[in-house]
């Protein structure tokens, strides 16, 4: 049975539109103009226990709005959501004890106190028994290498350390579902890797279900088997990560190294040259014809080394964003 | 209940981080009272009268000293504006996500802050009251004193409820700062903080008794100052309790509607 079920989910915001300048402000006092923004425009999906799903989309695509609806912070305009059998926006304590929402740009810890104090508070708020509290706290502080920092005031910690503390606080009550919104934003590479590994490890051991948004494709590649891509509030793709490449990548990247160190002329007939660094050259070749074209190339030139790769996933994903955005640009935004 | 006890404990720890600031602000509380005493001294001398309203000069000074005590209980700095900030800047999210009640959380936090404040303030207050000992009213007897303390506790609850309800306005109006300012001025005046309400004309006083503000400062203070009989003191406490109950219902209503609105427009 799915732990998260979403059908026909919609969220329409009514935003106040103000014209620029003083005159606009005065006018707004008497007659307000509103426009409606379709942040989420009818999406459906289901997530099974233990899945780690990456939620992708450009800024303003509706990812955070969806996470907020799943965590009960906002009501949808239409549609149904069931998480662990609960309707999130009823905000029952029994539901709130079973999930956590971690936002990379928001903090929940007490700024002036050591993280250990905030952890204690969480223990009381979530009614976590002492044994479990000690176990989880011990396990996570070790995994994230912050055991010696829990007694320092949070304001003295670096961003990365603080984020690790936030993550521990979010996991203390052993949630069944963890929603993550940009958990690694602004962190250095080491801290990013650390958090990523902790999440993967934690998922393996505890069968927790995770849904995460991130702008770093490495996060998604390292953690998620499945991705959902939304743009302008609509689901563009929902499937295994490998599908993104299989279905949307139009070309392959072929790297060649020539025996005599010279790069022969006329390579542009085979594909676009993306990098030219003798004796190496990188070509972008059409995916459909790459096999025949490459073998022709190999038979005509003396090549010492040869690899064929998929293009970087970022590239494919941003193409999906661009194309899906373009398709829907015609859909008019309702004004009232 | 345990979780609110825990909020209380952690708020204590949090507040102690800034004890230096606290100490200084306590001393700053006493600056206005000195000017107030000098002002009333001039007014009494200028008028050539022994009493103004129902108070003599000595009672007037002790009124202001006792008002300071009532303010220790009833004033709620940054409670309403803090709710506004939480609503506007998304701090509210935390209380919606976690299995905890926002108002209960605020109350536990405020009790902790008040206790810390009292612990810190006890030294400067003792000094000031000792210096002004000649102005203070006579010891009213244990019964009146206990009723006075109970009434002060209700001043705390009343101040908390009123400010909490005002803070809930931020669900409907994103920027409440100027409204708060206006409200604070009215409250300052109507609670008896500015001057004893007995100086006001009867017509105005007839209106004020139907508002909660005077029960925050003026009436509890008169229990001690006028050594009110137990029956009268109990009546004041009963009115306080009624107001607390009514406003509490208002808070609950505002909260449930406010959260719905919050959830509809942003989150």
pLDDT at residue A143 tops 80: yes
Mutate to test the interface with A, among B1, B88, B97 (most CBs of A within 10 A): B97
Identify the weakest region by mean pLDDT among A14-18, A111-115, A246-250, B52-56. Answer: A14-18
Across B211-226, average pLDDT: 95
Task: Note whether B10 contacts A118, CB cutoff 8 Å.
Answer: yes
For residue B154, the 8-state DSSP code is H
Task: Note whether A96 contacts B98, CB cutoff 8 Å.
Answer: yes
Task: Using CA coordinates, name the residue in chain A closest to B265.
Answer: A13
Across B104-126, average pLDDT: 89
pLDDT at residue B95 tops 50: yes
pLDDT at residue A330 tops 50: no
A201 or A269: which leads in pLDDT: A201
Calpha distance B106→A52 (Å, rounded): 36
User: Among A101, A113, A123, whose Cβ lies nearest the Cβ of B97?
Assistant: A101
Query: Cβ atoms within 10 A of the Cβ of A56, count?
Result: 24
pLDDT digits (tens, 9 = 90+) for A148-203: 999 999 999 999 999 999 999 999 999 999 999 999 998 999 999 999 999 999 99
Task: Note whether B99 contacts A125, CB cutoff 8 Å.
Answer: yes
Q: What pLDDT sits at residue B258?
A: 93
Calpha distance B67→B64 (Å, rounded): 5
pLDDT at residue A328 tops 70: no
- Of A213-217, A234-238, A244-248, A317-321, where does the model show the most confidence? A234-238
Closest approach of chain B CAs to the CA of A247, in angstroms?
Answer: 35
Task: Note whether B263 contacts A75, CB cutoff 8 Å.
Answer: yes
User: Among A14, A71, A124, whose Cβ lies nearest the Cβ of B97?
Assistant: A71
pLDDT at residue A331 tops 60: no
Give chain B's radius of gyration (CA, Å): 20
B222 or A31: which leads in pLDDT: B222
pLDDT at residue A327 tops 70: no
Q: Quote the pTM value.
A: 0.85
User: Among A73, A93, A126, whose Cβ lies nearest the Cβ of B267?
Assistant: A73
**Confidence tier at B265 by pLDDT (50, 70, 90):** low
In which residue are the tokens 């732990």 written?
Answer: A3
Q: Which residues of A touch B3 (CB under 8 A)?
A: 124-125, 127
Helix/strand/coil for A236:
strand
Q: For residue A29, which phi and psi values (nearest 5 degrees)?
A: -65, -30
CA B133 from chain center: how many Å?
Answer: 24
* Residues in contact with B1: Cβ distance below 8 Å, sequence separation at least 6, in sequence order: none
In which residue are the tokens 């939304």 written?
Answer: A230
- Residue B91 corresponds to which tokens in the numbers above? 């701090």
pLDDT at residue B174 tops 90: no
Share of chain B above pLDDT 90, in %: 57
Q: What pLDDT sits at residue A320?
A: 87
Mutate to test the interface with B, among A75, A107, A155 (most CBs of B within 10 A): A75
User: Among A72, A121, A127, whose Cβ lies nearest the Cβ of B7?
Assistant: A121
User: Which residue spans within A182-309 are E strands per DSSP?
Assistant: 209-213, 226-231, 234-240, 251-258, 272-277, 280-286, 303-309
Chain B touched by A36 (CB under 8 Å): no
Task: Note whether B98 contacts A126, CB cutoff 8 Å.
Answer: yes
Q: Which residues of A touch B171 (CB under 8 A)?
A: none
Task: Note whether B3 contacts A124, CB cutoff 8 Å.
Answer: yes
pLDDT digits (tens, 9 = 90+) for A307-316: 998 888 888 8
Q: What is the average pLDDT value for chain A, to the nearest integer? A: 89
Q: Name which of A231, A217, A177, A236 is nearest A50 in CA terms.
A: A177
Chain B touched by A125 (CB under 8 Å): yes
Task: Note whether A73 contacts B97, CB cutoff 8 Å.
Answer: yes
Task: Note whether B2 contacts A124, CB cutoff 8 Å.
Answer: yes
pLDDT at residue B98 tops 60: yes
DSSP string, B63-131: HHHHHHHHHHHH--TTHHHHHHHHHHHSTTHHHHHTTS-HHHHHHHHHHHHHHHHHHHHHHHHHHHHHH
Across B93-109, average pLDDT: 94
Task: Note whether B10 contacts A110, CB cutoff 8 Å.
Answer: yes
Q: What pLDDT sits at residue A335?
A: 35
Q: Which residues of A touch B2 (CB under 8 A)?
A: 124, 127
- Residue B90 corresponds to which tokens in the numbers above? 């998304």
Across A113-132, average pLDDT: 94
Q: What pLDDT sits at residue A326?
A: 63
B224 or B26: which leads in pLDDT: B224
B128 or A97: which leads in pLDDT: A97
Q: Which residues of A touch B265 (CB under 8 A)?
A: 13-14
Task: Note whether A126 contacts B99, CB cutoff 8 Å.
Answer: yes
Q: What pLDDT sits at residue B33?
A: 79
Are the CB atoms for A147 and A175 separated by under 8 Å? no
Q: Which helix (H) or strand (E) holds A40?
A: strand A33-47
- Expressed in angstroms, the distance from the first to the final Cα of chain B is 27
Task: Note whether B6 contacts A75, CB cutoff 8 Å.
Answer: no
Calpha distance B29→B138 (Å, rounded): 24
Q: What pLDDT sits at residue B180?
A: 86
A130-143 helix and A159-171 helix, angle to the nearest 10 degrees: 150
Chain B touched by A9 (CB under 8 Å): no
Q: Which residues of A touch B266 (CB under 8 A)?
A: 13, 74
Across A253-266, average pLDDT: 86
**Confidence tier at A250 by pLDDT (50, 70, 90):** confident
Across A46-50, average pLDDT: 96
Q: What is the average pLDDT value for chain B, to the nearest integer? A: 90
pLDDT at residue A334 tops 50: no
Across A269-284, average pLDDT: 88
Q: What pLDDT sits at residue B237?
A: 98
Closest approach of chain A CAs to the CA of B9, in angstroms?
Answer: 9
Calpha distance B106→B177 (Å, rounded): 19
Task: Note whether A113 contacts B13, CB cutoff 8 Å.
Answer: yes
User: Among A74, A93, A117, whose Cβ lies nearest the Cβ of B99?
Assistant: A93
Q: What is the value of ipTM here, to two decimals?
A: 0.83
Q: What pLDDT sits at residue A325?
A: 73
Q: What pLDDT sits at residue A39?
A: 92
Q: What pLDDT sits at residue B267?
A: 52
């Amino acid at each position: 049975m799915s732990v998260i079920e979403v059908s026909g989910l919609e969220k329409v915001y009514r935003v106040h539109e103000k014209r620029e300048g003083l005159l606009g402000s005065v006018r707004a006092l008497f007659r307000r103009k509103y426009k409606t923004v379709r942040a989420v425009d009818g999406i459906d999906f289901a997530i099974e226990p233990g899945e780690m799903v990456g939620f992708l989309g450009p800024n303003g695509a509706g990812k955070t709005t969806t996470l907020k609806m799943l965590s009960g912070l906002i009501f949808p305009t239409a549609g149904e959501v069931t998480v662990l059998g609960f309707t999130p926006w009823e905000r029952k304590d029994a539901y709130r004890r079973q999930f956590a929402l971690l936002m990379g740009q928001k903090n929940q810890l007490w700024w002036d106190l050591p993280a250990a104090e905030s952890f204690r508070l969480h223990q009381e708020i979530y009614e976590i028994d002492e044994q479990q509290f000690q176990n989880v706290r011990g396990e996570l502080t070790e995994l994230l290498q912050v055991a010696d920092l829990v007694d320092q005031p949070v304001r003295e910690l670096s961003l990365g350390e603080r984020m690790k503390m936030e993550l521990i606080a979010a996991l203390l009550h052993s949630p069944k579902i963890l929603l993550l919104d940009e958990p690694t934003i602004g962190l250095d590479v080491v801290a990013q890797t650390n958090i990523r590994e902790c999440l993967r490890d934690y998922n393996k051991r505890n069968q927790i279900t995770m849904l995460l948004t991130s702008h770093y494709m490495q996060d998604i590649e390292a953690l998620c088997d499945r991705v959902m891509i939304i743009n302008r509030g609509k689901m563009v793709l929902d499937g295994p990560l490998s599908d993104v490449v299989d279905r949307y990548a139009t070309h392959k990247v072929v790297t060649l190294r020539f025996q005599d160190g010279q790069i022969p002329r006329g390579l542009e007939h085979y594909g676009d040259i993306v990098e030219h660094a003798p004796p190496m050259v990188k070509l972008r070749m059409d995916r459909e014809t790459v096999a025949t074209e490459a073998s022709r190339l190999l038979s005509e030139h003396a090549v010492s080394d040869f690899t064929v790769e998929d293009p970087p996933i970022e590239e494919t994903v941003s193409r999906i964003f661009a194309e899906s955005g373009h398709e829907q640009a015609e859909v008019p935004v309702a004004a009232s | 209940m345990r979780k609110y006890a825990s909020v209380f404990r952690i708020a204590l720890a949090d507040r102690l981080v800034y004890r230096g600031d606290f100490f200084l602000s306590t001393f700053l509380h006493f600056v206005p009272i000195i000017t107030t005493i000098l002002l009333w001294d001039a007014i009494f001398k200028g008028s050539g009268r022994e009493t103004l309203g129902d108070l003599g000069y000595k009672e007037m000074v002790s009124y202001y000293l006792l008002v300071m005590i009532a303010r220790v209980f009833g004033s709620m700095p940054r409670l309403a504006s803090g709710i506004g900030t939480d609503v506007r800047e998304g701090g509210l999210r935390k209380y919606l996500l976690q299995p905890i009640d926002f108002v209960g959380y605020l109350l536990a936090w405020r009790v902790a802050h008040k206790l810390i404040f009292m612990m810190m303030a006890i030294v400067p207050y003792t000094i000031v009251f000792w210096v002004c000992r000649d102005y203070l009213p006579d010891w009213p007897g244990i019964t009146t004193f206990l009723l006075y303390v109970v009434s002060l506790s209700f001043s705390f609850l009343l101040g908390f409820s009123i400010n909490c309800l005002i803070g809930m306005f931020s669900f409907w109006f994103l920027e409440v700062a100027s409204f708060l300012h206006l409200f604070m001025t009215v409250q300052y005046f109507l609670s008896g903080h500015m001057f004893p309400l007995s100086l006001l004309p009867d017509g105005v006083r007839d209106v004020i008794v139907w508002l909660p503000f005077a029960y925050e400062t003026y009436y509890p203070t008169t229990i001690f100052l006028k050594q009110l009989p137990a029956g009268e003191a109990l009546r004041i406490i009963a009115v306080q309790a009624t107001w607390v109950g009514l406003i509490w219902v208002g808070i609950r209503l505002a909260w449930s509607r406010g959260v719905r609105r919050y959830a509809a427009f942003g989150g």
